[in-house]
Structure 1
Amino acid sequence: MRRSLLSCTSLARDGMIGLVTTALLPVRSAFAADGVLAQAVADQFGLNHQEVAVLATSLALVGFSAVAAILLMRTRVRATRNEERLRFEISDLQAQSDRLRALLFVEPQVLISWAAGDNRPQISGDISLVMSQEGSPQRILAFGTWLPPEPALQMDHAVDALRDKGEAFLLNLSTSAGRAIEAMGRAIGGQAIVRIRELGGLRRELAEANLRYKALQEETELLRDFAAAAPWPIWAKSLEGNLRYANAAYVRATEGKSVADALQRNLELLESEQRSELTKALNDNASYAARLPIVVSGERRIYDVQALKLGGGSAGIAIDASEAAALRAAIVRMVEAHRRTLDQLSSGVAVFDADRRLTFYNESYRRLWGLDQAFLDGNPDDSSILDRLRANRKLPEQPDFRAWKAKLHEAYRAVESETYTWFLPDGRAISVVTTPNLEGGVTYLFDNVTESLDLARQFDRLTRVQRETLDNLGEAVAVFGSNGRAELFNPPFAKMWKLPADALQGEPHIEAVEAMCRPLFDDPMTWRALRESITAIENRAQVALKLERKDGSVLNCMTVPLPDGKTLLAFQDITDTENVERALRERNEALEAADQMKVDFVHHVSYELRAPLTTIIGFAHFLSDPSTGPLTPKQAEYLDYVTKSTNALLALTNNILDLATIDAGAMKLELGPVNIAQAIEAAAEGIQDRLATDRIALKVDIEPNIGGFTGDERRVVQVLYNLLANAVGFSPHDATVTISARRTEHSVVFSVTDSGPGIPMEMRDKVFNWFESHSHGSRHRGAGLGLSLVRSFVELHGGRVRVDSTVGKGTTVTCDFPIDQTAHRNAAE
């Protein structure tokens, strides 16, 4: 009604404005159109044009005021009449609205309306129908707060379709509180309206029946789809035994064309005897279960057949159990194989079931405990076996046997394995492992570990001995694993490399050890060789190196590959040895230089002596010549002494020169044929005067037809002369010196034997040295060069000299000359 009044007022105001505008327009138009009239008025009253226009507007307003007053009176009368009429209509509409509202909400319901283009709905009705009064009415739009998830989602979709497309809906739902409601949506007068009301009476029962029917229908369709898609044959029969239902798997199994064909021909899956047993079992009981062989597609397979007796007949299903049967048979075979395997084990095995009775044992178990086979085959319980073993003193001595046995039997309730070690009274050590079985019971494993424990103790003892040995070694030792980390080391290692005592405790890598040792020895090539030797996988070889460190010490380093893939690294301090060796080497070099100086000096002196000796000998011979004039007897005697002395001195000088030449490697033999007999004769002729003076007899023993050999005849004669001279010098008066010659396959052997005092054992290796004179028992003290020349000349010929002597009986010197000098020279070259 208020809106109607406002509308009327607005219309009146707009009418008045229109009338004013209409009244003013003629006046203004008259003045604007008739310029002569405006000019006349201006001239008459003495006004300008602006004043004339203001006058015209004033006249128009005066006329308008009169007209407006009349019109306003009319409008007020008309508005009063319209207001009375509208008041009557509004009161009538209000009464109709109250009657319709009373009729609409005569039963509990909720109305939700959305105007076109307005997202804010108007909600009216009893909201307690779906939710408590405490909540805001707007919360009713959150359907998930008072509906289960699936109906709430269904409601959301229906309301969205109503508002967007105007699609009506009718839903029978159940709230979270269990109340049955009806939700109806319609598009009316450009508005989307949803009505929610509770169902009651027949309508509620009908709605619930529809819901149950729909659920049963869905369940039935689901079961039908499952039965149709199931890979197992499923069927249903009437009371008369006729086939009423079969799935696709049944049709395939019975080789039918289709389900209809199978039903029409009443195809049977089971054989007649099997059907008879099934029918009899269903008549006696309500169900039947059996594992039967069935021929399907020409192949005989094993099926688990399950059948139920129903009110209108029976239903059955056949599940393929061929694989299960094969697996069961395989499991049986596997169990049997395991039993045979366990029988071959050296460990004793005993299996007890959930009732604690022995179900399996192997021969090792029986032998370990010495139990009677008949007793074990009787499936005794665990406690009986323990009691018998205790009676036979084959269990560890326990102060409380009951508590000990109860703790052992906790394995029947445990989930993890336990390990024990039993030390028996007979000295044996038995390792016991209790393992719970999945199906109940316990499996016992028994091993005699007496020998293993003894070996472990021996190993531990050897390890300690090894540790003590390594710790007390003078060498620095470290053992590196195949990963290059130091696993073992001794204190000398850290001491030798001046490392902290705990530097190698963390098993550092060889590279870290190298970094710690580099301050004393920084040779990249040496450390690289050590790293490769330690970390190499293939071609592992021993490496020996010598390290000269910055502190002046010298180390011998050696890596030794170990059988287990590890590498032993050892360092030995050889500084003292190296210093001694260096000193010996320097001394040897000094001795060699002195020896060379001696040889050079002797050679030089000998060479310088020959010239004056030759002159003296020459003048002595010249003086002894009668042509130089007669000599007195005394002069002749002195001249003879000079001649003999100079000849001896010349021979000594020649010998020294020969030795020096041989020692320098410059001596060359003048090879040619050597007549053995003539060589002996020439050598003997040189000592005839000494033989006569010392009353010594010379015995020559030469094989007949001995012939000769190839050699330097002059040197051979010199050798034999020196041997005879040496023998004569050591032989007593009236003794005999023997010289012999014999021929072998490859050599000629000369031997000179005397009956002198002999040579002691400690002097035999020295008689061939320069200036080494053995004067004991000799009447002539020589320079000690004779035997040295003998050995040198014989060895130049490729022969050898040996001395056989017995103290107090004499000495024999033997010289072997090879017959073929060509073969000797080729071999030397």
Structure 2
Amino acid sequence: MQISPTALIIIGLLLAAWMVAAAWMMIAAGGKARGAEGSRKAARRMARMIDEAPAIPLVVRTDGRIEGSDRLAGWLGLDTLPEYLSELDGGQTGDHGKGLSADQLKELTENVRRSQKTAAPFRMALTPPGSQRSLAVRGVLADPQVSPGGAALVWIFDFSESESELSRLREEAARAKGDFGALVGIIEAAPMPMWFRGPDAKLQLVNKAYVDAIGAVDADSAVIKQQELIESIDGLTAAQVAGQAFEKKMPIERIVTATINGQRRALRVSDLPLGKEGVAGYAVDIEEMEEQGRQFRAFRDAQRSMLDQLSIGVGQFDADRKLTFANQPFRRVFALNSGVVSQGIDFERLLQNARENGRTPEVRDFPEWRTEHTEWFNAGETQEEAWPLSDGTHLRIVAQPMPDGGLVIVAEDRTEQLALSATRDTLLRTRTATFDSLFEALAVFAPDGHLQLWNRSFAGTWGLEPELLDAHPSAEELLEAIAPNLARSKQAKGIGEVIRAATLDRKEQGGRIALADGRTLEFAGIPLPDGNGLLTVLDVTANEQAEAALRERNKALEAADEVKTQFLSNMSYEFRTPLTSIGGFAELLQAGVAGDLSDQGKEYVEAIIESVGRLTDQVENVLDLSQSEAGLLPLNKKRLDLMPFVTDVVRSREQVISDGGITLDLRGSKASGKIEADKRQLGRAIGQLLDNAIAATPSGGKILVDLSKQKGVAQIVISDNGTGMSKDELKRAMAGQNDTKKQGLGIPLARQLVESHGGTLEIHSRQGEGTAAVIQLP
């Protein structure tokens, strides 16, 4: 059967169409296959991203079925993820470290159901029992495209690291908060004012001490009013100073004075910049420190002033071994000048200079010696040395290390002490030799009563054995040994009382005692300056015998003195009465009572009257001298003007002076004053001296009588330029042994009369030049 061309064309067209359709279908199938492959890749990528995501989704259907990743099972400690939500406890109670605990599962179930019913989201945190993993749960109602039918989508986050960090931060925050609270409490309770300023230098915070210091009501009031503690200084306020510290980013510290509680106090104020936050400040009360500093400086100055008064040299070195102070004796010992001290000479240089000045001992190796002495600064104890110098000086050097690393050198010149010690040894030996050479028996007792020193005579005087004294017995033991040698042994107690009074009571007592052999001893206890007591014993047997003889002689002298007194009393009458009678009768004859007398008779009468007057004067002189020596001369003292009194005495002899061709010079004035004296007796004394001057002065000579008063003492000087006397002649005149015509009893009598008035008489004479008599009266 033949096919027509049309059929063939149609068949061809059909085949072509089929082929086109097949090709299109193949192309469409290839595109869908590529799309499916891309979807699979995207799904795998999404699943991988979900697996790597920090959150794991969990779909909970309304019937309790769950869909989720096995990774969630690992978070919950399960081998596989169960099919239902109620099985998340792992089929256990939750106490073995798998799944959730019953309480956690119950809370999760309730939140899921509430979200499924109300579409309300929820959040909660889970920590599987026995695990340190912290899970954050966030649940919402699932989108229908995700899971239709009202399922819940739960996202579970592992924030274990974040939770640990949060816990750490919470702990640090809590600790920081506690520290801040404690810091605020410390600042508030601090005894010193503290404050904080903002970047604008305005107060933002002050503590209670600040409030109390400025007298504010409270801290808020002080901040609001911007009350400053520190006053403006040099035009700068406290806020401006704080602003400078903030700008320079450097702390500023200064010492200022401020009024705190009504008192001016010294404060050390510090402003400390705290970055961009502001400036903190505080004020430390250093008033006591300043006061202590002033007291220390005053003490140091007083100490150094006191050290300058010492006779011992003191030098102070600091920790750098520099001389900081040296008193005058120290400079003198080491031959230092003030410039060296002010420059702070080094210790080694000081030793070098001292060596050059000969103020160190001679040593073989001086550098080594100097190094050894430099180690004094590091010594732990006091060092002491004796330095004998080449000029004979002996120094005692004491080095005292100080706690601050310094050194104090004490230099004492012991040259004089050593000389005194040698002298003392010599004196002790001399004392021992002196003790042994004395006639008295001596013994020295200590305050406790023991015998310390004695001489050789002590044992023999009391009849004791020398061996007993060598044992330094006590006073009681010594008295027991002495008692048998006494005439009455009980008298030994009196010796003990004398020793006790000298040593303990510091009183001097004495006594006399008789020994059994007939001797008599006189003893005395004398307190010594060193607290000991001296017992001195003297054998007065011969003295007692001589004393008895002297008593008898004294009685005889007293009897003779009584006879002398009676003789003077009688002679005063027996001499004066006949002379008065003779003179009276002669004057009657001269007056013609017995008739007229011839010229020769008149001459005889005149000679009798003249002789009676002369004899009367001599008798008066003898009696007055005798009575004055015997202390029987009566004195009738009255207040006398010295110048008129002496003038009267001189005028009574004016005729005699004129007849002898003698010049008289009387000097004085009323300034000579007044005296208490017997006019008659003192006039006789001055007259006797004036008569002696007249008798010793030749014609043409001169007599000077000078009156004066010095320091309340009246002075009368009677001088002449006559013949004068040698020393021997003056000595005899003072004793009344010269030529009677010239001197007689005048000088002895005048001296007795002057001394009876409490005055003194001195005679100065030189042969050929004259004589001067000086009377001084109180």
Structure 1 and Structure 2 fold alike (TM over 0.5): no
Pick the TM interval, shorter chain.
Answer: 0.3 to 0.5
Instruction: Provide the TM-score with structure 2 as the length reference.
Output: 0.44
* TM-score where L is the length of structure 1: 0.42
